[in-house]
Amino acid sequence: MSATVIDYSKEIPVVEGIPTAASLDAAISKPIDEFPQRNWFIGLAITGTMLMIGAVSLGWTLWEGVGVWGINQPVAWGFDVVNFVFWVGIGHAGTLISAILFLLRQKWRTGIARFAEAMTLFAVLCAVQFVLFHTGRPWIAAVWLLPYPNQHGVWVNFTSPLMWDVFAVSTYFTVSAVFWYVGLIPDFATLRDRATTTIKKTIYSVLSLGWRFSNRHWQHYERAYLIMAGFATPLVLSVHTIVSFDFAVSVIPGWHTTIFPPYFVAGAIFSGFAMVQNVLIITRKAFHFEHLITIDTIEKMNKIMLVTGMMVGYAYSMEFFTAWYSGNQTELFVFVNRAFGPYWWAYWIMFTCNVFSPQLFWFKKVRTSLLASFILSIFVNIGMWFERFVIVVTSLHRDFLPSSWGMFIPTVWDFGLFFTCVLLFIKFLPAIAMSEIKAVVPGAQPTTHHGNGAHHG
């Protein structure tokens, strides 16, 4: 029987150096244990100001009506739905990194999974506010979005894709929140044992649910985490597929196409990874996580963005081809109008940012450059926002009846909810999973150092 030799020395380490468990705990807990630095307060002041501007803007919207967003006839969907689809897409990277890469046993996910999970929750919160305020009277409309017995005998329209969004997004948020919390339990126990004040110790004791690092606890934890990962994986495909049905099941030219579900899912993963990359690079530098979030991890994320960017580019091309091949003049007009009509600038910003700029990731020097990765990720997020803008607006502003044609001019409203939540998360919760990162440090697996560094089977 021949022996199989695996040379582990050629594996690129997920964590640089050979840190001890105690040093990992100290490094990850440092932002929580120490008093925030001045830069953290400056960032919180900036995002808090944006959040307050957003709150005032929403108050003005409630007072004046959703017309302040620039929506009109025939463009009844505008700023609100564009941002809803954008933020739901941002939230997809968290589930992909945590659940799917966990099931595929990709070790490099450990340094970024916790961060991505938290961003999923914050992105969904940002998305929900837009659809609620799009109703104009959310204190009335929100009640009718949920099916429940009432004295009027009125039920929601279950055949409406907008109602499907309610079930899809709420399920996605619930499962993501539970998945995120389950992963935090061992880390809460670590913070409990490190706590120096009674208040902190009490809070972390409650959150850790009596975790004692026993073998039995680990067995139950790993089984529950695996089940949750398997349950969350289909949500990556289902949630944005259902969001795409808002458009695909309509009769509007440029929307009713079967390519939308896979197209939207690929775009969501594309934009989600870009946002994780943006915030991650800043956090990595600000909190000295360079040895935990390595260049190799960033390079792998860039490779995923390259693949999904090419998928999105293929979808753009196929949209034009199917419009031409169908022989439907109205359908063809919509796509020609997108590229060469009044909103040509938005279309080509989208195409340049989403198709051309990711091609630079073919070069290893670009993939491993922090500055290039950060700039290109910003371009991707700009391009993906314009993609939603192009899909929503250019299919509506030219109606079937030329006499009802009109232009949509968006207004500028800033919302700092997402980045404020990110800063608070980094300060009060571990941004990296301590329990998972310890399992991938060099020497953590016994089979990696038998004899001369090779395992014989």
Question: Where does residue 448 rank: exposed (0-12), middle (13-18), buried (19+ CB within 10 A)?
Answer: middle
Per-residue pLDDT band for 402 (boundaries 50, 70, 90) equals confident
Give percent of the chain with pLDDT exceeding 90: 14
Q: Is the pLDDT of residue 387 over 60?
A: yes
Mean pLDDT across the stretch 119-140? 82
Decide if 188 is inside a domain.
yes
Q: Name the strand (E) or helix (H) holding 185.
A: helix 161-194
Residue 436's CB is within 10 A of a number of other CB atoms, namely 20
Asked if pLDDT for residue 17 goes beyond 70, the answer is no
Average pLDDT over residues 18-26: 72
1: in domain: no
Residue type, 289: F
**Residue 340 included in any domain:** yes
32 SS3 class: helix
Give the largest CA-CA distance in the chain.
Answer: 81
For residue 457, the model assigns a pLDDT of: 37
- Does 10 or 370 have the greater pLDDT score? 370
How many C-beta neighbours within 10 Å does residue 57 have?
18
Average pLDDT of the chain to the nearest whole number: 81
**Tens of pLDDT along 45-100?**
887 887 787 777 777 777 877 777 777 778 778 788 888 888 888 887 777 778 88
SS3 (DSSP) at 401 = coil
Residue 457 belongs to a domain = no
Which range (63-77, 110-124, 323-337) has the least confidence? 63-77
pLDDT confidence of residue 456: 39
Write down the pLDDT at residue 256.
85
pLDDT of amino acid 353: 94
Q: What is the pLDDT of residue 443?
A: 58
Q: pLDDT band for position 361 (50/70/90)?
A: very high
- Residue 366 counted as domain residue: yes
Q: What is the domain extent for residue 362? A: 19-440
Instruction: Look at residues 457, 394, 417 and name the one whose alpha carbon lies nearest to residue 128.
Output: 417
Residue scoring higher pLDDT (220 or 134): 220
| DSSP H or E stretch at residue 228 | helix 215-248
Half-sphere exposure of residue 305, counting CA atoms within 13 Å on the CB side? Answer: 38
Q: Classify residue 87: in a domain, yes or no.
A: yes
Nearest to 40, CA basis, from 425, 326, 427, 367 = 427
CA 281 to chain centre: 15
Whether residue 425 contacts residue 419, with contact meaning beta carbons closer than 8 Å, is answered with no
Q: How confident is the model at residue 348 (pLDDT cuts 50, 70, 90)?
A: very high
Nearest residue to 96 (alpha-carbon basis) of 125, 126, 119: 119
Residue 447 placed within a domain? no
- Domains contained in the chain, number: 1
Examine residue 331 and state whether it is found in any structural domain, yes or no.
yes
The answer to whether the beta carbons of residues 426 and 31 sit under 8 Å apart is yes
Closest CA to 413 of 43, 40, 66, 140: 66
CATH number at residue 405: 1.20.1630.10
Distance from C-alpha of 388 to C-alpha of 338, rounded to nearest angstrom = 12
- Residue 340 CA to residue 140 CA, distance in Å, equals 41
Angle at 379 (CA atoms; ends 373, 384), nearest 5 degrees: 125
